[in-house]
Amino acid sequence: MTPPARSAGKGVTTEIDGHELSLSNLDKVLYPSGFTKGEVIDYHLRIAPTVVPHLAGRCITFKRFPNGTDEDGFFEKRCPEHRPDWVPVAQGPGDRKGGVDYCRIEETAAMVWAANLAAIELHAPMALAADLATPRAVVFDFDPGPRTDIGDCCAIALQVREILAVVELEGWCKTSGSKGLQLYVPLNTDGATHEAAAHFALAVGQVLEKQLPKRVTTVMAKVERPGKIFVDWSQNAFHKTTIAPYSLRARPDPTVSTPVTWVEVEAAADDRAELRFEAGDVLDRVAEHGDLFAPVLTVVQRLPAD
């Protein structure tokens, strides 16, 4: 751990940004590869300056794995009642009883607190909590079916880029940290709606479905997916979240949803170059390149009129 810490029984107590945190079971192995809870916390601590801008102001859903990633985890939308008073909440989409108070991750200390809960995966919506009706981006989620891989996802992402260029839009890619790839088209403007975002993503997907019927599908039924890339346009729905950039994933190894360049996407599509990054790789990439996903937060674009 980078911050000074003092022993507290089986854990340690540390101070981050003026907040005192008690961290427990640091030696507990959370990944089959041997990656420990302490290493998860350290990754959250070190990546926080880069990832917090992508989480701040949003209703964050945790996926927690207190017994490790080789067992089933659980999604947690409602922010725990035992959270520190400096972890704010925001009301977002809920169940039949109404809204849910989600955790907001606004600073490094909150990232470390979440890691101590074994919140390995952080899922974020397209909209800010202050304006849930207005998505800040359109997301294309490329999900590889059987007999396809992330290289095939990259090939389809390049096809989407060509369509986006026709309507003067730009997008930025990241790996899902699992099997797929995601392409974000930033909007960052008033007037955008989830319905329009979903309609646009579906329309683009359907163009490719007609052009490449043996390689692309927009149909959710899994029977349609073997040998194809599913363009999941439904991730743009009001209640949906997508794995946040720089979030760890619950895989056998500590892989990360990693922003990538279009050069890397092209290499993966053409030469099947591997697009798989673990926590240490991502920290090195950020140190060398900065935040490749930063434009998603600032670039202003509008979807074409129907």
Cα separation values, 176 from 180, 213, 222, 251, Å = 5, 24, 19, 11
**In this structure, is residue 131 part of a structural domain?**
no
Q: Which amino acid is at 91?
A: Q
Domain boundary among 124, 158, 193: 124
**In this structure, is residue 303 part of a structural domain?**
no
**In this structure, is residue 14 part of a structural domain?**
yes
**In this structure, is residue 132 part of a structural domain?**
no
Co-location of 46 and 146 in the same domain: no
What is the percentage of the chain residues whose pLDDT exceeds 90?
A: 91
Question: What pLDDT score does 11 carry?
Answer: 77
Question: What pLDDT score does 212 carry?
Answer: 97
Co-location of 147 and 283 in the same domain: yes
Cβ count near 183 (within 10 Å): 26
Question: Once rounded to an integer, what is the mean pLDDT over residues 165-180?
Answer: 97
Co-location of 59 and 148 in the same domain: no
pLDDT at residue 1 tops 50:
no
Domain that holds residue 99: 5-124
Question: What pLDDT score does 306 carry?
Answer: 67
Co-location of 175 and 36 in the same domain: no
pLDDT at residue 110 tops 50:
yes
Tokens of 269: 């599509």
pLDDT tens sequence across 244-284: 999 999 999 999 999 999 999 999 999 888 899 999 999 99
Q: Which of 5-19, 58-72, 93-107, 170-184 has the lowest mean pLDDT?
A: 5-19
Co-location of 79 and 178 in the same domain: no
Co-location of 192 and 287 in the same domain: yes
What contacts 188, CB < 8 A, 6 or more positions away?
136, 137, 297, 298, 299, 300, 301
pLDDT at residue 2 tops 60:
no
Write down the H helix ranges in the chain.
37-55, 108-116, 150-166, 194-211, 262-271, 279-289, 295-298
**In this structure, is residue 87 part of a structural domain?**
yes
Co-location of 48 and 147 in the same domain: no
Co-location of 145 and 230 in the same domain: yes
Co-location of 98 and 146 in the same domain: no
Q: In what order do the strands lie in the sheet with 61-64?
A: 74-76, 61-64, 119-124, 242-243
Q: Which helix (H) or strand (E) holds 260?
A: strand 259-260
Question: What pLDDT score does 97 carry?
Answer: 65
Q: Nearest-CA neighbor of 244 among 41, 70, 101, 53?
A: 53
Domains: count for the chain: 2
Structure pTM?
0.94
Question: What pLDDT score does 168 carry?
Answer: 98
Q: Nearest-CA neighbor of 202 among 219, 184, 180?
A: 219
CA distance 267 to 53: 29
Residue 92 belongs to domain with CATH number = 3.90.920.10
Alpha carbon 83 to chain centroid distance? 22
How sure is the predictor about 151, in pLDDT bands with cuts at 50, 70 and 90?
very high
Question: Once rounded to an integer, what is the mean pLDDT over residues 170-192?
Answer: 97
What is the percentage of the chain residues whose pLDDT exceeds 70?
A: 95
Question: What pLDDT score does 255 carry?
Answer: 98
CA distance 117 to 120: 8
Question: What pLDDT score does 94 carry?
Answer: 79
pLDDT tens sequence across 15-65: 999 999 999 999 999 999 999 999 999 999 999 999 999 999 999 999 999
Question: What pLDDT score does 272 carry?
Answer: 83
Residue 274 belongs to domain with CATH number = 3.30.70.3300
Co-location of 78 and 168 in the same domain: no
